[in-house]
Amino acid sequence: MTEYDTGDRGGSGLVGSLRRALTHLVELAHTRLELLSVEMEARLLNSRHVMLWSVVALFSVSLTMLMFSVTVLIVFWDTHRLLAAGAITAFFALMAVAAALVVRHRVRERPRLLAATISELRADAASLSESG
């Protein structure tokens, strides 16, 4: 065999080095894809729980607010029914504005999707560019 052997057995030749480099790149891609799938599963599970409990909370709060409004109107029916109805309406309008502001803040401040995966891929690219 010569020093320019192609390295079919994974030896020290050029082809062997390329195979090892390719193997490392495949392993690296496999690890990153596993991280991606774990992040996606976690995000999906969290989203399901949030949606379920949001529906339960909205239903319960809606019934509570409806019953409270009816109770207040019944209490003030003979004396100040228009004032009570206006106060209830103003309260719900303020709650709607506050909820909209909270939602806007939460949407702006949410963590980036796949942040860990992107960070690891950047680190991989940086280490590959340093060694290349």
Q: What is the pLDDT along the chain (132 residues), one digit of tens a residue?
A: 444 444 445 557 888 888 888 888 888 888 888 888 888 888 888 889 889 999 999 999 999 999 999 999 999 999 998 999 999 999 999 999 999 999 899 888 877 777 777 787 788 777 777 775
Count CA within 13 A, CB hemisphere, residue 117.
15
The dihedral built from the CA positions of residue 45, 48, 49 and 51, taken in this order, carries a sign that is positive
82-109 as b/e, with b when 16 or more CB fall inside 10 Å? eebeeebeeeeeeeeeeeeeeeeeeeee
What amino acid occupies position 100?
A
CA angle 56, 52, 44 (to 5 degrees): 165
What is the structure's pLDDT at 112? Answer: 75
CA distance 57 to 63: 10
What amino acid occupies position 127?
S
Regarding pTM above 0.95, the answer is no
Q: What is the DSSP letter of 8?
A: T
Which of 22, 41, 24 minimizes the C-alpha distance to 117? Answer: 41
